[in-house]
């Protein structure tokens, strides 16, 4: 299992989650519009959920139906960043 960052992170990137993650598996770079959780590194501790001011993070099995594409987007990001960024832009076009 893993935790998943969803749509409300886009263009916000509060980053409180990054500060609390004990294994540093939440990745953020300037080029991205949101942060991403590496599903291979996440230890499912749940520490990142409450600090997020926009409730963007869910356990994989609890991701709301409209946000389910983000489960794949978080995974894809760690294999193909361009593809993940394109999918984010497709869900929420840049302003
Ligand atoms: Fe990091 Fe824990 Fe959140 Fe996984 S659930 S991203 S390990 S803080």
Euclidean distance between CA atoms 95 and 73, whole angstroms: 20
What's the whole-model pTM score? 0.97
In tens, the pLDDT along 26-60 reads 999 999 999 999 999 999 999 999 999 999 999 99
| Domains of the chain from N-terminus onward | 3-91 (3.30.70.20)
Q: Which atom of ligand 1 is nearest to the CA of 2?
A: 4
Residue 41 Cα to ligand 1 midpoint, Å, equals 8
| Radius of gyration of the chain from its Cα atoms, rounded to whole angstroms | 12
Residue 44 Cα to ligand 1 midpoint, Å, equals 5
pLDDT of res. 53: 98
> Which of 17, 25, 50 for a ligand 1 pocket mutation test, highest count of atoms within 8 Å of Cβ?
25
């Amino acid at each position: 299992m893993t935790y998943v960052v969803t749509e409300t992170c886009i263009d916000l990137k509060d980053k409180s989650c990054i500060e609390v993650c004990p294994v540093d598996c939440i990745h953020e770079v300037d080029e991205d519009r949101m942060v991403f959780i590496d599903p291979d590194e996440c230890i499912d501790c749940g520490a990142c959920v409450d600090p997020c001011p926009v409730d963007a993070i869910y356990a994989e099995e609890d991701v709301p139906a409209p946000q389910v594409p983000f489960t794949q987007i978080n995974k894809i990001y760690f294999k193909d960043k361009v593809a993940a960024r394109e999918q984010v832009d497709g869900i929420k076009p840049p302003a």
